Amino acid sequence: MTSFSNGTRRVERVRRALLFVPGDDLKKINKAAGLGVDSLILDMEDGAALNRKTEARTTIAQALRTIDFGRSERLARINPLESGWGLDDLNIVLPAHPDGIVVPKVETEEQVQEVSLFITQFEKREGMPEGGIRLLIFVETAKGVINLRQIAGSDPRLDGIMFGGEDLVGSLGAVRTKPGWEIFYARSALVTYAAAFGLQAIDTIYADLHDIPGLIEDSRLAQQMGYTGKLAIHPRQVEPITEVFTPSDEAIAAARRLSEAFQTHQSSGAGVFELDGKMVDMPMLRAAERVLARARAAGKV
């Protein structure tokens, strides 16, 4: 596992593609465990029917205890706290020691803190290091978007914020379109607040399973906006997403060259300088350093 620093926190895992897996289907979980995905989200919320919630909890707990997930991070998505099922989900899955918990439909900092405190109490009872089980959350409602500042700074257990674009459209009463202008403000706001608080920003799903070129284009836009990864709803989406969020050899070489040239010019007392016909200054250096940090996190450097 590669650690890298981003802002005010240390994020311990690279999360380029995060694949949803229905929590009530042990065969699908077992198959997904062999795919080598950065993160698997074992789902008790949307991925489980209302009459299968209990089955999803117990199946996920069984899978966590018995299946070898290889290098994949094991995340369990609980139901929203207001549903009345969320804490019951935690009671069943926490003893199976997932790597992290995903909380949907977060709208306030208190919701994050409530789940984190619940996990802390479990870790203390079990004699586990406090903070070892990480927390990722979904912001997918209008209220969640306007409270992003408080949510992003709510708890040190929090690693990242996931953008739920499809649910947000329903919250807004908007119409989902391929260009996505109806969600663009929220998409921009989420990545901005995540960066301000040193959190990973995980982009929303791409619903068309057969439109791989569209998925790649949407993933590139998210990556250019500053997102660190994207949600996947089918195994066929994993490879394209992972590739987009992994710096290419050319990008790594260019970033190294710029960084080395900057150090050389700094040593000689020069600030701004020219490289390949372009003026190089601190913002360009920071961009290069971000490329190299992503490359290190992905194991390419």
Per-position pLDDT tens, the chain of length 301? 333 333 344 456 899 999 999 999 999 999 999 999 999 999 999 988 889 999 999 999 999 999 999 999 999 999 999 999 999 999 999 999 999 999 999 999 999 999 999 999 999 999 999 999 999 999 999 999 999 999 999 999 999 999 999 999 999 999 999 999 999 999 999 999 999 999 999 999 999 999 999 999 999 999 999 999 999 999 999 999 999 999 888 888 887 887 877 787 776 665 677 677 777 777 777 777 878 877 877 777 7
The HSE-up count of residue 10 (CA atoms within 13 Å, CB side) is: 7
For residue 199, the model assigns a pLDDT of: 97
pLDDT at 255: 79
Domain 4-244 CATH assignment equals 1.10.10.10: no
Gap between the Cα atoms of 119 and 134, Å rounded: 9
Catalytic position from the list 25, 43, 167, 281: 281
At residue 12, the pLDDT reads 62
Which amino acid would we find at residue 184?
F
CB 228 within 8 A of CB 245: yes
Domain boundaries, the chain: 4-244, 249-297
User: Which tokens is 160 given?
Assistant: 């990242």
C-alpha 91, offset from chain centre: 24
| Residue 273: per-residue pLDDT | 73
Pairing assessment for the beta strands 158-163 and 134-139 based on DSSP bridges:
parallel
Helix or strand (DSSP H, E) at 88: helix 86-93
Global pTM? Answer: 0.87
Please say if 281 is a catalytic residue.
yes
Give the C-alpha separation, 176 to 207, whole Å: 11
Per-residue pLDDT, 9: 46
Per-residue pLDDT, 257: 83
pLDDT for residue 151: 98
- 13, two tokens: 């895992």
Q: Which long-range contacts (CB under 8 A, 24 or more apart) does 125-131 make?
A: 126/95, 131/156, 131/157
